[in-house]
């Protein structure tokens, strides 16, 4: 056999081995036990099916050491205010998401305006019954939490649903009483608020 024939034989041999290596391997499933009744996801790891299931996130917080009694009092006051307004922020999130879904399914502009007005009336009703009694500090926290939950500032929500002039007017009134509808939420800057929310049980 000449040199050229050896090269061809070598290539054919390598190619044959490659084809053999690429042949699919039948997956091997673990043996079922008598009490194995829960269906879970699995991953094929070189022919061996490995079962797995996603666990809920677990947050671990160390016991906080206070620098002074005044600092602890301030944190407890912040916790009270956050827990006071958090339900309103969650309501705004659910209501705004519902409004977006309703508008996306409503092609007529006239009907969309009716949906916006209905949502506006519900929020005004809640304001007249409950939110109007919030302190300035609680109102400031609420605007931050709305940005946290909805992903948009209160100013942006008003601007989208009622127009730029309404948002500008609301902002002027808010600034007079010490609020800012453009307040945003920063988990790092507002880490005490974030810690309170994560340990409060709102998302369990």
Q: Is residue 88 part of a domain?
A: yes
**Could you tell me the two tokens for 117?**
């007005």
Residue 19 has pLDDT above 50, yes or no: no
Q: How far is CA 62 from the centre of its chain?
A: 24
Mean pLDDT of the chain, nearest integer: 76
Element holding 126 (H helix, E strand): helix 109-129
How many structural domains compose the chain?
1
Worst-scoring range by mean pLDDT, 34-48, 109-123, 130-144? Answer: 34-48
78: containing domain: 69-121+136-198
Does residue 91 lie within any of the structural domains? yes
Answer positive or negative: Cα dihedral of 97, 120, 128, 171: positive
Q: Residue 48: inside a domain, yes or no?
A: no
Please state whether the predicted TM-score (pTM) of the whole model is above 0.75: no
Tell me if 157 sits within 8 A of 42, measured CB to CB.
Answer: no
Decide if 31 is inside a domain. no
Contacts by 132-136, CB closer than 8 A, 24 or more apart: 134/84, 134/85, 135/81, 136/177, 136/178, 136/179
* 79-101: pLDDT as tens digits: 999 999 998 888 888 888 888 88
In a domain, residue 80? The reply is: yes
Residues 6 or more apart whose Cβ sits within 8 Å of residue 120:
161, 162
Residue 112, domain member (yes or no): yes
Binning pLDDT at 50, 70 and 90, where does residue 18 land?
A: very low
pLDDT tens figures, 70-79:
999 999 999 9
Token code pair at residue 17: 């081995």
Would you say residue 13 lies in a domain? no
Pairing of β 48-52 and β 41-45: antiparallel
Strand intervals (E) in the chain: 41-45, 48-52
How much of the chain exceeds pLDDT 70, in percent? 74
pLDDT in tens, 129-152: 766 778 888 888 888 888 888 888
Residue 39 maps to a domain = no
Residue 67, CB half-sphere, CA atoms under 13 Å: how many? 3
Task: Taking residues 47-75, report their average pLDDT.
Answer: 79
């Amino acid at each position: 056999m000449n040199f050229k024939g050896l090269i061809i034989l070598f290539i054919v041999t390598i190619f044959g081995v490659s084809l053999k290596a690429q042949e699919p391997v039948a997956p091997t499933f673990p043996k079922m036990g008598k009490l194995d009744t829960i269906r879970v996801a699995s991953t094929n790891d070189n022919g061996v099916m490995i079962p797995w299931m996603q666990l809920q996130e677990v947050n671990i917080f160390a016991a906080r050491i206070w620098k002074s009694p005044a600092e602890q009092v301030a944190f407890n006051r912040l916790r009270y205010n956050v827990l006071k307004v958090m339900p309103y922020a969650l309501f705004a999130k659910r209501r705004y998401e519902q409004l977006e879904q309703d508008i996306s399914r409503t092609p007529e502009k006239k009907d969309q305006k009716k949906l916006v007005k209905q949502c506006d009336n519900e929020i005004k009703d809640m304001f007249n019954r409950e939110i109007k009694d919030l302190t300035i500090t609680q109102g400031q926290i609420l605007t931050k939490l709305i940005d946290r939950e909805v992903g948009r500032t209160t100013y942006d929500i008003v601007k989208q649903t009622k127009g730029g002039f309404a948002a500008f007017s609301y902002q002027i009134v808010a600034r007079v009483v010490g609020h800012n509808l453009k307040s945003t939420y920063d988990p790092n800057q507002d880490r005490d608020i974030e810690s309170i929310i994560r340990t409060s049980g709102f998302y369990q």
